[in-house]
Amino acid sequence: MVKVGIVGGTGYTGVELLRLLAQHPEAEVVAITSRSEAGLPVADMYPNLRGHYDGLAFSVPDVKVLGACDVVFFATPHGVAHALAGELLAAGTKVIDLSADFRLQNPVEWAKWYNQPHGAPELLDEAVYGLPEVNREHIKGARLIAVPGCYPTATQLGFLPLLEAGLADPSSLIADCKSGVSGAGRGASVGSLYSETSESFKAYAVKGHRHLPEITQGLRRAAGGDVGLTFVPHLTPMIRGIHATLYATVVDRSVDLQALFEKRYANEPFVDVMPVGSHPETRSVRGANVCRMAVHRPQDGDLVVVLSVIDNLVKGASGQAVQNMNIMFGLDERLGLSHAGMLP
Amino acid sequence: MVKVGIVGGTGYTGVELLRLLAQHPEAEVVAITSRSEAGLPVADMYPNLRGHYDGLAFSVPDVKVLGACDVVFFATPHGVAHALAGELLAAGTKVIDLSADFRLQNPVEWAKWYNQPHGAPELLDEAVYGLPEVNREHIKGARLIAVPGCYPTATQLGFLPLLEAGLADPSSLIADCKSGVSGAGRGASVGSLYSETSESFKAYAVKGHRHLPEITQGLRRAAGGDVGLTFVPHLTPMIRGIHATLYATVVDRSVDLQALFEKRYANEPFVDVMPVGSHPETRSVRGANVCRMAVHRPQDGDLVVVLSVIDNLVKGASGQAVQNMNIMFGLDERLGLSHAGMLP
Amino acid sequence: MVKVGIVGGTGYTGVELLRLLAQHPEAEVVAITSRSEAGLPVADMYPNLRGHYDGLAFSVPDVKVLGACDVVFFATPHGVAHALAGELLAAGTKVIDLSADFRLQNPVEWAKWYNQPHGAPELLDEAVYGLPEVNREHIKGARLIAVPGCYPTATQLGFLPLLEAGLADPSSLIADCKSGVSGAGRGASVGSLYSETSESFKAYAVKGHRHLPEITQGLRRAAGGDVGLTFVPHLTPMIRGIHATLYATVVDRSVDLQALFEKRYANEPFVDVMPVGSHPETRSVRGANVCRMAVHRPQDGDLVVVLSVIDNLVKGASGQAVQNMNIMFGLDERLGLSHAGMLP
Amino acid sequence: MVKVGIVGGTGYTGVELLRLLAQHPEAEVVAITSRSEAGLPVADMYPNLRGHYDGLAFSVPDVKVLGACDVVFFATPHGVAHALAGELLAAGTKVIDLSADFRLQNPVEWAKWYNQPHGAPELLDEAVYGLPEVNREHIKGARLIAVPGCYPTATQLGFLPLLEAGLADPSSLIADCKSGVSGAGRGASVGSLYSETSESFKAYAVKGHRHLPEITQGLRRAAGGDVGLTFVPHLTPMIRGIHATLYATVVDRSVDLQALFEKRYANEPFVDVMPVGSHPETRSVRGANVCRMAVHRPQDGDLVVVLSVIDNLVKGASGQAVQNMNIMFGLDERLGLSHAGMLP
């Protein structure tokens, strides 16, 4: 039984970790921290958990308690994992960070996008980017995991087969992405109010979004060189889900793209390549740790269109975090993650 | 391993049965029928099930195939179970009917509300109303279960403690109920279109709804005599969930209602009485087989207000059906139903 | 041309005033205040207004500027109108207050529900409760209007015909009300986030809501004596709209309720009594200054059910405020308010 | 006063025409047809119109009645206008067709996309494509208008400034478009149910959508030659609104795109170019006859991103139809269309 700690459990990735771990047969949450809610039973904040965590209350972060866990998840704003990860690793506790703290390998770039110095550059060498479809072997031996962002997960998985095979012009990639509102978190902000986001659709951060360097870093690795990516995120009126519509110019029209994608993900338990002509819906992965995709080449032209969907809180955050935990602890990768999406 | 057949699997209660049974360790779906979709793999219709039922396709209903099952669920419009249940019972197959066919004990009343003669009055004597919180012992030995409707489940569970204890005036009960749109099913109808139901709220069927006699029948049993009930259903713009706001006049103000409710459901795995002052949200039971409730007496007056929520597709239909199956087959009642609701 | 000032224009009732006044042929907004947004053009905050108020920017509240207006609307939290109304009245400016500051005639009761002393009890005598269907004649000569709350508007209009005619038992009234999320305002709060309110339904404030004394005060006037009211508000996942489901016991079953309601509102431009058997939808009044209602007596019993819908931001706030302005200034009551609701 | 007839008034563009014309000072609807609803008062089907069209009922289409109108709008499925337009024109009645019947100039291409022969090729020469921002002068003298589709309106208006100025490579245009569900019409179909479309997002018709040839035809005219366009439509869970995210490669980075767009639309009453850095929201044009847009060049690269939003039922259909009527009859182009969008 893996003893689990969670730092920052009051946000949406926190409650989603609790929901997933409640049905995980080999993990037990022994500590969950929140400065603001210390003392409050978790089920008082999240009544869906009533009956599942009856003894568990939020507590003030305490390295001694967390250091006694086998693994600690950070479901925190950026900066927090920087401050605590080193100490936990020193205590022999593995760290799975759902924030952006260790996603970028270059601390200078991190500082530029997050407007503050990187707080733990000495840990970057051993931090492993937790995208199992790329880094499974490294994850097995890792002590520190940077769980990919939600947009980066949907986007990278969609582009990878093309770039790894050298089939797409890497200089003119476009990721037109749409996210549900839960991606903005549980913080009180006018922009995330129901009355501001329902029955409306908009783009945002077209000038530059923090997930851009993360995606670019991953695509560069896949392409074996520089890439040019235009990334336009949009807000769509739903709670969960990301739909990435990806555009790339193919350099060889003769290749069977469907076969390429199917082969690339044939052994991946959580990537589902749909049949030719399909249009994946975000609801088909609601609550599930799946990235579902389809590949099109409209009018048999040069442009390939990949449609890739995830639940931003599961495969885009907490589910992928649990998947990493399973790999790190030698468990069946699908433990606690094998349920179907909820439709309707 | 219980061998399961499903008749009429293309609707929302059908796909929900499939979702729940996919994670049930002691049940296996061996047949699912649909005349209109015969031959189609279930995962082609419901992509959330891809990877979960890879060999399973819809088939034309065949009593030989269904009769080889241990249990058959009817997820059909009314009338279908009337036609088939007898034959299946004769073949030694248990029947769990999610439709209204066996909910009313009086076939004359059934005929009045459903505008057609009752098709199997000879089975009414052995049909058991599948509300485990009332009929658990009868369910254990039953061969034919009438799964309660969604409104009736939320409403009866909310009123039962008051009526069984003789604490409410049974002549002036009000059930002001609100349902998500999935309660109307997956049939193509203008009234259930997104553009007709989103961003709007309305009452419907104030003159009389088919769930009225079912609720009344259950409340009469609890009260040990006649009841007067006004039932006003409403449509609210969400997919899943029922919220019943129940009003009754208490005949003895001195009783501790909170204690009464807590005691009534102390041993019920799927009824959750919240603390004093709570307001249950339907999202807290989304996807979960739970009825969550709270009891209020505003301004310390004579009127008690019970707030009772369920997911109409789970505790209000498919989850309750599986709960009945567990009881009928001597399994742990919670098997396959112990996951937490999905919030947010 | 009526010169209009608006205090506190950044909230939803503020922007709705601007939307309605933009199409009003006899009114011109000359000042709109907001401390936090002073200097910002209103169309920068509300892009739907681009092209409609090109010269208008938020300004710091200034009694000299506001006192030069013919009328000032307060679209503010409670307490603000208390502080400023007297000074404006002294300057000869009429005041239409959309907040709760002058709704309750009893300052002690006000203090109890709003947890602070009443700030302008000396003005209560001349404050007129701005429900035109009750107080039209008083409104004509008023200098200070208290615009009714949203729940109180829908609830009072629904109960009035019954109580004025002495046809309902005033001791056991129930108002089961459902509101869209915009009723909670534009303030940043976790409880109003999209991810907290979408795809869910709940009751709130069952113990006691600030609109309870306001409704009771109005119903008492109509009934000519004490009333007993249970008021249960609910939150429904939509932006705009209130649906009041009202229950009362009739004391004389022989009366033609439909005729009673139609006669009561025969000359009201903004109350629409629908035909027998109707179920008004909130979307039918979306954006329109209409209260639409239907009256039922289910199973021909003693209980009458009135269904009453409004747009909380229009007939429940800003539209009703403009209607009051029209009456006060001798204009056609329908000016600027005659457009149809937006459906779908 | 323009006498207006409407053929096929039961769908969403029909009711939207009625809503807009109810507030039009120079138009009067004298006939509205529907075979299926003949005899039904329009306000019985659309209660938002109660009080606005009290004498008006649906009638069986009758060329004599329609031919007595000054103008007839077709709010019908394709094919109907083909059958009737000629006869009406012969009777001296102008025709404004909201369907696709006269949008494509090439009848062979029309037949290919609509799977039936073109029914009135002899009228194509005089049919004018009713995009006022391009064809205002032709519209003035036209007898037969083809109102542009919703996607084509948002997409063409966004690309036009670039293509007319020769600033974009016409061979690699991408239109990633998102539509609310009302775009699918009011027909009963499973795919448009609330429970199928809410809380989900998907692409559709990636292989080829009927609006593709219409958009291409318009862009070709603007570019003065062939264009290569990839058009990917998506369904987003809201009732109204289209958001077009448009991608083009600029051939000259030195041009001030903001100035280009502002100049192109300086005199257009219904196109609003927002300031640099803006992200138009669909809700800002909800119910309004406006196309609002912003132009970006992320990371100062070669790719220009235009964000263009409309209300699909207004500027994308019925509002644009009324705008055409105003132009054709020498009225102020803004009559009946000058109200602000409804936000929130």
Residue of C nearest to A239 (CA): C195
**Known active-site residue A177:** no
**How many interchain CB pairs under 8 A, C with D?**
93
| A297 → chain D, closest CA residue | D207
Task: Report pLDDT for C9.
Answer: 87
Cβ distance of C195 and A189 shorter than 8 Å: no
CA distance C57 to chain B (A): 31
- Contact partners for chain D, using 3 or more CB pairs closer than 8 A, are A, B, C
For residue D226, tell me if it sits in a domain: yes
**Is D199 in contact with A247 (Cβ distance < 8 A)?**
no
Q: List residues of chain A with CB under 8 Å from any CB of chain C.
A: 12, 180-182, 186-190, 192-199, 237-239
Closest partner residue to D48 (CB to CB) among C52, C338, C340 is C340
**Burial of residue C55, with CB atoms counted within 10 A of its CB: 0-12 exposed, 13-18 middle, 19 or more buried:** exposed
Percent of chain C with pLDDT over 70: 100
Burial of A6 by CB count in 10 Å (0-12 exposed, 13-18 middle, 19+ buried)?
buried
The number of distinct structural domains making up chain B is: 2
Average the pLDDT over A144-173 and give the result: 98
Q: Are residues B110 and B166 in the same domain?
A: no
Name which of C52, C65, C54 is nearest C6 in CA terms. Answer: C65
Tell me if B47 and A284 make a contact (CB, 8 A cut-off). yes
D314: which chain C residues are within 8 Å (Cβ-Cβ)?
Answer: none
Distance from CA of B15 to the nearest CA of C (A): 19
| B291, closest residue in chain A (CA to CA) | A48
- Closest partner CB to A48 (pick from B50, B274, B340): B340
Full pLDDT tens readout for chain B, 344 residues: 999 999 998 999 999 999 999 999 999 999 999 999 999 999 999 999 999 998 899 999 999 999 999 999 999 999 999 999 999 999 999 999 999 999 999 999 999 999 999 999 999 999 999 999 999 999 999 999 999 999 999 999 999 999 999 999 999 999 999 999 999 999 999 999 999 999 999 999 999 999 999 999 999 999 999 999 999 999 999 999 999 999 999 999 999 999 999 999 999 999 999 999 999 999 999 999 999 999 999 999 999 999 999 999 999 999 999 999 999 999 999 999 999 999 99
B-contacting chains (≥3 CB pairs under 8 Å): A, C, D
Name which of A194, A200, A292 to mutate to probe chain D: the one with the most chain D Cβ atoms within 10 A of its Cβ. Answer: A200
Question: Rounded mean pLDDT of C84-96?
Answer: 98
Tell whether D207 and D299 lie within a shared domain. Answer: yes
pLDDT value of position B26 = 98
Q: Which residue of D has its CA nearest to A311?
A: D200
For residue C192, list chain A residues with Cβ-Cβ distance below 8 A.
193-195
A199 and D172: CB-CB below 8 Å?
A: no
Residues of B in contact with D239 (CB under 8 A): 194-195, 198-199
**CB–CB of D193 and B198 under 8 A?**
no
Closest CB to C182 among A181, A195, A237: A195
Whether residue D222 is found in the same domain as residue D303: yes
CB contact under 8 A, B193 and D199: no
Supply the CATH number for residue B214's domain. 3.30.360.10
Residue of A193, A200, A240 to mutate when probing chain C, most C C-beta within 10 A: A193
Give, in order, the Cα–Cα distances in Å from A206 to each of A209, A234, A333, B16: 7, 9, 36, 39
- Indicate which CATH number applies to the domain containing A84: 3.40.50.720
Best of C169, C202, C242 to mutate (most B CBs within 10 Å, chain B):
C202
Containing C251, the helix (H) or strand (E) segment is none
Q: D217 lies in a domain? A: yes
Minimal-distance CA residue of chain D relative to B194: D194
Q: List the D303-310 sheet strands across, edge first.
A: D202-203, D229-235, D173-179, D242-249, D303-310, D291-296, D271-273
Tell me if D47 and C292 make a contact (CB, 8 A cut-off). Answer: yes
- CA-based nearest distance C18→chain A, Å: 17
Chain A nearest CA to D29, separation (Å): 30
Chain B residues touching residue A344 (CB < 8 angstroms) = 12, 15, 182, 186, 239-240, 313
pLDDT tens for each residue of A102-140: 999 999 999 999 999 999 999 999 999 999 999 999 999
Half-sphere exposure (CA, 13 Å, Cβ side) for D228? 12
Residues C166, C308 within the same domain: yes
In terms of residue numbers, what domain contains B173? 150-312
Q: Is residue A162 part of a domain?
A: yes
Number of residues written out for chain A: 344
Which residue on chain D is closest to B183 by alpha carbon? D195
User: Are B165 and B292 within one domain?
Assistant: yes
Calculate ∠ Cα D279-A189-A48, nearest 5°.
120
Q: Is residue D115 part of a domain?
A: yes
Stretches where chain D sits below pLDDT 50 are none
HSE toward the beta carbon, residue D309, CA cutoff 13 A:
26
Q: Is the same domain home to A82 and A162?
A: no
The whole-angstrom distance between D29's CA and the closest CA on chain B is: 24
How is the beta sheet containing B271-273 ordered, strand by strand? B202-203, B229-235, B173-179, B242-249, B303-310, B291-296, B271-273
How near does any CA of chain B get to the CA of D199, in Å? 8
Query: What is the ipTM metric for this complex?
Result: 0.97
CB C120 within 8 A of CB C101: yes
Give A52's contacts in chain B (Cβ within 8 Å): 340
Mean pLDDT (chain C, rounded): 97
Kindly state whether residues D161 and D269 are assigned to the same domain.
Answer: yes
Indicate whether B260 belongs to any domain.
yes
CB contact under 8 A, D188 and B186: no
pLDDT given at position B137 = 98
For residues D110 and D198, state if they share a domain: no
Whole-angstrom Cα distance, residue C201 to residue C190? Answer: 16
CB pairs A-D closer than 8 Å: 144
Determine the 3-state secondary structure of A58 from DSSP: strand
Closest CB to D342 among C19, C198, C292: C19
Residue whose C-alpha is closest to residue B129's, from B95, B105, B163, B154? B105
The residue annotated as part of the active site, out of A69, A150, A177, A291, is A150
Cβ distance of B282 and C200 shorter than 8 Å: yes
Q: What mean pLDDT is predicted for residues C54-74?
A: 96
Catalytic residues of D: 150
C344: closest chain A residue by CA: A199
User: For position D9, what pLDDT does the model report?
Assistant: 86
Q: What is the pLDDT of residue B219?
A: 98
Cβ neighbours of residue B257 under 8 Å, at least 6 residues apart?
B162, B167, B250, B295, B297, B304
Residue B56 included in any domain: yes
Residue B344 lies in a domain: no
Query: CA nearest A195 in D: which residue?
Result: D344
- A159-172 pLDDT, tens digit per residue, is 999 999 999 999 99
- B15 to chain D nearest CA, in Å? 13
Nearest CB among B180, B188, B197 relative to D189 is that of B188
- Please check whether residue A340 lies inside any domain of the structure: no
Q: Judge: D200–A279 Cβ closer than 8 Å, yes or no.
A: no
**Same domain flag for B118 and B156:** no
Of C178, C196, C232, the CB nearest to B344: C196
- The half-sphere exposure of D264 on its side-chain side, counting CA atoms within 13 A, is 26
Show which of B126, B160, B177 is a domain's final residue: B126
| B284 contacts A48? CB cut-off 8 A | yes
pLDDT at D260: 98
- If asked whether residues D76 and D198 sit together in one domain, one would say no
Alpha helices in B102-256 (DSSP H): 107-114, 132-140, 150-164, 194-197, 211-223
**Same-domain check for residues C308 and C161:** yes
Report the pLDDT value the prediction gives residue B9, as an integer from 0 to 100. 87
B14 lies in the same domain as B87: yes
b vs e for C132-145, b when ≥16 Cβ sit within 10 Å of the residue's Cβ? Answer: bbbbbeebeebbbb
| CA gap A34, D155 in Å, rounded | 48
**Helix, strand, coil percent values for chain D (each to nearest 5):** 35, 20, 40
DSSP E strand boundaries for chain C: 2-7, 27-33, 58-59, 71-74, 94-97, 127-129, 144-146, 173-179, 202-203, 229-235, 242-249, 271-273, 291-296, 303-310
The confidence band for A9, taking pLDDT boundaries of 50, 70 and 90, is confident
